[in-house]
Chain A
Amino acid sequence: MRNLLAFLFLAAPSYAGDPVTANYYAYVAAESDDTVDLIKFGPAGGELVKRIPVGIFPNEIEGPHGIKVAPGGRYWFVSIAHGMPYGRVFKYEAGTDVAVGDTQAGLFPATMDISPTTGFLFVVNFNLHGDHVPSSVSVIDTVSMTEIAQIEQGIMPHGSRVSPDGRFSYSVAMMSDELFEIDAMTLAVSRRLKLTLEDGSGAVKPTWVQPHPTKPLAYVAFNGASQVVEVDLKSWKIGRRFHTNAGPYNLAVTPDGKTLVVTEKSNHSTAFWDLDSGKERKSIRCTNKITHGVTISPDSRFAFVTVEGVGGDPGLVEVYDLQDLERRAVIEVGKQASGIDFWKMEEP
């Protein structure tokens, strides 16, 4: 495994596509290492820049899961799943990577997103604690780091994403097969949609919802049914269905709105879909097991995908060029790499 990674790393700078002209930075949470890792990809390839220990207890793995860089890039936020018993969200200053605040959330806070208009952070309390009971979304004011509301949601909520205009927060309930829309101003559930297969049957286990950057559409990953569905946010109905490999998990749409990137967790692959045609362009096997998160550079050029690994395997970030759909780099990060978010681009 390590030899393979070394080979991939060394091979990274040779391309068939346009040259890489910028350095790209992203923060990655390593759930079983209690670190957030800063990675860089650029003309010289990919590298781990910094490893930032997170959490409070030296002798307990607290599980950083979700990560979100604030609009503007001044801060980043990480959700710490395990607490006593509630998890927390920590705020760090980007670059110096010094913790500047934190607040308590609910049981096992996981994925999260920030409304660019209010700065409110919506974090799902995934509650991975056995009982299938409705959980909540915590709303956190990221300026004062105060939990200002807990909004009841379905069972095991996941995949928190905010609409581009900052007006709505979307998330799915993995074990009750629902899509939720929260009004980011009234902090109340405005709509909920039962998610089903074509024949109306359920058990689709949705794990992610991703609004389109410019259109009133959202994409929902049916982790248990190997589908990604397109939800019309006006009619609040499911439209197109994309049949994927096993275990679609996290999603991202390029800022230009053309490409949907799907991590296929059970198939250990990453798929790239053309949203105009609704056709899969390519699905690429990852270099290790269990693909997890994905973030895309603002220029719509590169997708950064986390791969968890198993046991003592290091986590990985794989960098895909969206021009030719080739893997450009593999970067070792902490164990069980999960949430990832883009930080900044800069000239080399």
Chain B
Amino acid sequence: MRTLLLLLTVIQAPTIEITPASLTLEVGESATLRAVIQGSDAQVVFFSGNRMALTVTPSGHVTANRPGTFVVTALLPDKPFDGAWDSYSRRDPGIRTTIEVTVAEPPLESIAIVGFPKQMYAGTTLPIRVLGTDTSGAERTDFTTRFLISNTDTEDAHTAETDGFGNVTALAPGSFTITADADGVSAEHHVNVIPNPTASLTLTASSREARTGDVVRFEASARSSAGERLEKIPITFALSSRPDPNRPESVGAGAPAQIDPLGRFVAEQPGIYTIVAMSGDRIARTSVLVTPRNVAREIEFLGHARVSDRITSDLWVWEGIDGRDYAVHGTWNAEGHAYFYDVTDPTDMKLIDKVQVDARTVNDVKVSEDGRICILSREGASNRRNGFVLLDVSDPHNVEILSTFDDGLTGGVHNVFIHEDHVYAVNNGRRWDVINVEDPRNPFRVSRFETKTPGRSVHDVWVRDGIAYQAGRSDGLIVVDVGGGGMGGSPTSPVEMGKFPQITGWNHAVWPFKSKSAGRSYVIGGDEAFYRNPLKPEAGGILWKEQIPSRAKGWLHFVEFDDMKEPREVARYQLPDSGPHNLWIDWDEEIMYVAHYDAGLRIVDISGELLGDLYRQGREIARFFSTDNEGFLANAPFAWGPQPHKGTIFFTDFNSGLWAIRLVPSDTATDGEE
């Protein structure tokens, strides 16, 4: 027994004690940890569980960078390897001890009520905005504020009240003080309430009848008892709704709609909607009848050029210099081919040439405006110098490789665009390079565009009318003048015009849209994301190798870019159970074509001003599921990229190649929903 105890004592692993055993620091403070190892004088290594927020040197010097609670580990290494492979057990290496280090949130130093007027009209309501500054000097809004209204005229006066959510309603003439309290600091704002001169309100609508998805603009005006129009009187809009009793088929859907503070109204379902404008004790109301949008049209299937032995990627369709129509698409994770077709007759699309380059994936393809030059992006080149390849497609039956450009583009070019003799190449997710291809046999770089955002990530670039539109997973949407933006930019000197930050972190595709019917400029950013399949959680979203279709998620963000300094997201297109990939917008027809991965091809009416959820507004014109029982994955639509051309809608499907369909003219379409 004594021998056993002695043995246990001898083989007992040393323990590490860290001093101090716990630590609390302020942002910017430092401290030094020490480790005492019982039974050993060996050296330990300290490290941080979050090195950006809490820096820890291997010798134990700790510096607090950000608030939070973090783990610091002290590791005593195992003995040096003695060359015997069996000497390492399957336990984790080394002996570890951890402590928690708390970095306190810097306290608020002050708060301020910002943007609230010093004078209100009785009977009006305004929101309060509070901004804080902490002791580190950082601006903060992540705190809870309690508001108190104190009437300053007499104690029993009831001049104003709050709703507990930061809205203040002035009730009667007099004065009051708003006190905002947060984490021990407070701010006050004094307000005078003056009589509301509004004697009457009028409310007009841009239309009394609308379809779902149509934006109706309401304008309310206040007038005095003398009939004078009163400016700057706050007017609040409210909404009541009911389904149209004459449309029993829509009753179950209710009557959802919105009206924003600017008086823009849009409904998702047919119904009767009453808008109420309020100021003081005056109100005005107007009703709108909303009917179904009725934009659904039939699809006519024209042709299918099946590709089932490999995966199909992006496409481009163009009119060749001989007047016939051609298409090219890439192949993905295969042998580096691009396929060329004569699609003049979309019911009989003929494969006319294949070009193979040193790559596994030709992800993106584009053709110049004059139909002579084609670019293929390369990934998986055997020498890991990827870049892109320029082809002469003057005769698409006999495509010739002109040159390869990989200087500085070795990591892989995922997406490209060609515009006025310049190629815009997304350089492996960090930036895009602009390459002059006036002489396609001798391309040369003329500029680069790259933000300074830490961890920046670019996925796509699209150029139209001298403006480049960038989609970036971390930077969001960026609009860049490359010659047409009026800010002095050019291909050799791109100039940023405006940006809209990413929202979901999945920003993948981008398309500009100048809406003639709405008189507005939009930039549409597409998400790309995938659901994890619970049947194969370890596979992430990747299941095609296991013959299981992937399921996408995400949506299209519609960002109004009329004011480059203050773009704002105004609408979205989101299917309940799928996510978008590439898209195309016909500016003349104001129709959007979306290759919606597992939801097939979606065709959407985007005419008029855009507000709210476009899918739920019944704007979908048609859908087509590219189902192919002989596809790479059978019966698994996975639409990749669309392009309308001369009345035919061409698109590629990941699993089944090239498709051609057409919208049946609306005068022959069925009425209402499918």
Measured CB to CB, the residues of A under 8 A from B are 31-35, 51, 53, 55-61, 71-74, 82-86, 97-99, 108, 115-120, 127-131, 141, 143-144, 146-149, 164-167, 185-188, 213-214, 255, 289-290, 298, 308-312, 335-336
Q: Which of B322-330, B355-363, B389-397 participates in binding chain A?
A: B355-363
- Residue B456 CB within 8 A of the other chain: yes
Bound-state CA distance A122–B273 (Å) is 64
**Which chain A residues border B89 with CB–CB below 8 Å?**
72
Asked if A311 and B358 sit within 8 Å, CB to CB, the answer is yes
Bound-state CA distance A131–B427 (Å) is 11
> Could you write out 15 A-B pairs with CB less than 8 Å apart?
A35-B545, A53-B540, A59-B581, A60-B414, A72-B91, A120-B45, A128-B428, A129-B427, A141-B47, A143-B96, A164-B83, A165-B81, A166-B81, A311-B356, A336-B360
Please report the total number of B residues contacting A with Cβ < 8 Å: 70
- Residue B436 CB within 8 A of the other chain: no
**Which chain A residues border B106 with CB–CB below 8 Å?**
none
Q: Given known contacts A32-B360, A130-B427, A143-B93, what 14 new A-B pairs fall within 8 Å (CB)?
A: A32-B333, A53-B546, A56-B540, A56-B542, A61-B380, A72-B88, A118-B75, A118-B78, A127-B411, A128-B410, A130-B408, A146-B51, A148-B51, A166-B81
Asked if A118 and B93 sit within 8 Å, CB to CB, the answer is yes
Bound-state CA distance A74–B359 (Å) is 35
**Which chain A residues border B643 with CB–CB below 8 Å?**
none
**Which chain A residues border B542 with CB–CB below 8 Å?**
34, 53, 55-58
**Which chain B residues border A97 with CB–CB below 8 Å?**
538
Bound-state CA distance A148–B49 (Å) is 7
Bound-state CA distance A176–B332 (Å) is 34
Please report which residues of chain B, range 50-89, place their CB below 8 angstroms from some CB of chain A when the two chains form the complex: 50-51, 58-59, 73, 75, 77-81, 83, 85, 88-89
Asked if B429 and A82 sit within 8 Å, CB to CB, the answer is yes
Q: With A71-B93, A72-B89, A116-B93 in contact, is A56–B410 under 8 Å at CB?
A: no
Asked if B333 and A61 sit within 8 Å, CB to CB, the answer is yes
Bound-state CA distance A186–B359 (Å) is 42
Asked if A85 and B333 sit within 8 Å, CB to CB, the answer is no
Q: With A148-B47, A213-B83, A255-B83 in contact, is A85–B88 under 8 Å at CB?
A: no
Give, as a whole number of angstroms, the nearest-CB distance from B548 to chain A. 10
The dominant DSSP class at the A interface is loop
Asked if A98 and B538 sit within 8 Å, CB to CB, the answer is yes
Q: With A55-B542, A57-B530, A85-B455 in contact, is A310–B382 under 8 Å at CB?
A: yes
Bound-state CA distance A128–B160 (Å) is 64
Bound-state CA distance A128–B96 (Å) is 36
Give, as a whole number of angstroms, the nearest-CB distance from B473 to chain A. 5
Bound-state CA distance A333–B73 (Å) is 40
Which of B59, B77, B427, B539 is A166 in contact with, Cβ under 8 Å?
B77
Give, as a whole number of angstroms, the nearest-CB distance from A82 to chain B. 7
Bound-state CA distance A98–B540 (Å) is 11
Which residue of chain B has its CB nearest to the CB of A257? Answer: B83
Which of A58, A85, A141, A167 is B541 in contact with, Cβ under 8 Å?
A58
Asked if B51 and A312 sit within 8 Å, CB to CB, the answer is no
Asked if A116 and B78 sit within 8 Å, CB to CB, the answer is yes
Bound-state CA distance A34–B47 (Å) is 32
Please report which residues of chain B, range 542-595, place their CB below 8 angstroms from some CB of chain A when the two chains form the complex: 542-546, 550, 581
Which residue of chain B has its CB nearest to the CB of A310? Answer: B382
Measured CB to CB, the residues of B under 8 A from A are 43, 45, 47-51, 58-59, 73, 75, 77-81, 83, 85, 88-94, 96, 332-336, 356, 358-361, 379-380, 382, 384, 407-412, 414, 427-430, 455-457, 473-474, 528, 530, 538-546, 550, 581, 654
Which of A53, A59, A129, A312 is B410 in contact with, Cβ under 8 Å?
A129
Bound-state CA distance A85–B59 (Å) is 31
Asked if B45 and A185 sit within 8 Å, CB to CB, the answer is yes
**Which chain B residues border A32 with CB–CB below 8 Å?**
333, 360-361, 379-380
**Which chain B residues border A147 with CB–CB below 8 Å?**
51
Asked if A290 and B83 sit within 8 Å, CB to CB, the answer is no
Asked if A58 and B543 sit within 8 Å, CB to CB, the answer is yes
Give, as a whole number of angstroms, the nearest-CB distance from A348 to chain B. 20
Asked if B356 and A82 sit within 8 Å, CB to CB, the answer is no
Asked if A84 and B474 sit within 8 Å, CB to CB, the answer is yes
Bound-state CA distance A51–B530 (Å) is 21
Asked if B77 and A185 sit within 8 Å, CB to CB, the answer is yes
Bound-state CA distance A308–B384 (Å) is 11
Q: With A71-B88, A186-B59 in contact, is A129–B93 under 8 Å at CB?
A: no
Asked if B85 and A298 sit within 8 Å, CB to CB, the answer is yes
Which residue of chain A has its CB nearest to the CB of B379? Answer: A61
Asked if B81 and A164 sit within 8 Å, CB to CB, the answer is yes
**Which chain A residues border B91 with CB–CB below 8 Å?**
72
Asked if B545 and A53 sit within 8 Å, CB to CB, the answer is yes
Asked if A167 and B58 sit within 8 Å, CB to CB, the answer is no
Which residue of chain B has its CB nearest to the CB of A81? Answer: B411
**Which chain A residues border B427 with CB–CB below 8 Å?**
129-130
Which of B81, B409, B412 is A116 in contact with, Cβ under 8 Å?
B81
Give, as a whole number of angstroms, the nearest-CB distance from A109 to chain B. 13
Bound-state CA distance A167–B541 (Å) is 39
Q: With A117-B94, A149-B47 in contact, is A84–B88 under 8 Å at CB?
A: no
**Which chain B residues border A99 with CB–CB below 8 Å?**
538
Asked if B430 and A85 sit within 8 Å, CB to CB, the answer is yes
Which residue of chain A has its CB nearest to the CB of B79? Answer: A117
**Which chain B residues border A51 with CB–CB below 8 Å?**
545
Q: With A85-B429, A290-B382 in contact, is A117–B360 under 8 Å at CB?
A: no
Give, as a whole number of angstroms, the nearest-CB distance from B306 to chain A. 19
Bound-state CA distance A84–B473 (Å) is 7
Q: With A82-B412, A186-B58 in contact, is A61–B455 under 8 Å at CB?
A: no
Q: With A85-B430, A131-B408 in contact, is A59–B88 under 8 Å at CB?
A: no
Give, as a whole number of angstroms, the nearest-CB distance from B102 to chain A. 18
**Which chain B residues border A309 with CB–CB below 8 Å?**
382
Bound-state CA distance A312–B359 (Å) is 8
Which residue of chain A has its CB nearest to the CB of B89? Answer: A72
Asked if A58 and B83 sit within 8 Å, CB to CB, the answer is no
**Which chain A residues border B48 with CB–CB below 8 Å?**
146, 148
**Which chain A residues border B473 with CB–CB below 8 Å?**
84
Asked if B410 and A117 sit within 8 Å, CB to CB, the answer is no
Which of A56, A118, A165, A335 is B360 in contact with, Cβ under 8 Å?
A335
Q: With A56-B541, A130-B428 in contact, is A214–B456 under 8 Å at CB?
A: no
Which of A84, A115, A164, A187 is B429 in contact with, Cβ under 8 Å?
A84
Give, as a whole number of angstroms, the nearest-CB distance from B622 to chain A. 24
Give, as a whole number of angstroms, the nearest-CB distance from A244 to chain B. 19
Asked if B336 and A312 sit within 8 Å, CB to CB, the answer is yes
Q: With A58-B530, A58-B543 in contact, is A33–B428 under 8 Å at CB?
A: no
Asked if A187 and B45 sit within 8 Å, CB to CB, the answer is yes
**Which chain B residues border A335 with CB–CB below 8 Å?**
333, 360, 380
Asked if B540 and A72 sit within 8 Å, CB to CB, the answer is no
**Which chain B residues border A186 with CB–CB below 8 Å?**
58-59
Identify the 4 closest CB pairs spanning chains A and B, nearest first: A312-B335, A130-B408, A165-B80, A119-B93
Bound-state CA distance A31–B455 (Å) is 23
Which residue of chain B has its CB nearest to the CB of A342? Answer: B85
Which of B92, B335, B380, B429 is A143 in contact with, Cβ under 8 Å?
B92
Which of B94, B356, B360 is A119 in contact with, Cβ under 8 Å?
B94
Which residue of chain A has its CB nearest to the CB of B380? Answer: A32
Bound-state CA distance A71–B89 (Å) is 8
Asked if A57 and B541 sit within 8 Å, CB to CB, the answer is yes
Give, as a whole number of angstroms, the nearest-CB distance from A189 to chain B. 13
Which of B77, B79, B360, B409 is A130 in contact with, Cβ under 8 Å?
B409
**Which chain A residues border B414 with CB–CB below 8 Å?**
60
Q: With A58-B550, A117-B93, A167-B80 in contact, is A311–B382 under 8 Å at CB?
A: yes
**Which chain B residues border A298 with CB–CB below 8 Å?**
85
**Which chain B residues border A167 with CB–CB below 8 Å?**
80
Asked if A146 and B93 sit within 8 Å, CB to CB, the answer is no
Asked if B77 and A117 sit within 8 Å, CB to CB, the answer is yes
Which of A119, A146, A312, A336 is B49 in contact with, Cβ under 8 Å?
A146
Give, as a whole number of angstroms, the nearest-CB distance from A77 to chain B. 13
Which residue of chain A has its CB nearest to the CB of B52? Answer: A147
Which residue of chain B has its CB nearest to the CB of A299? Answer: B85
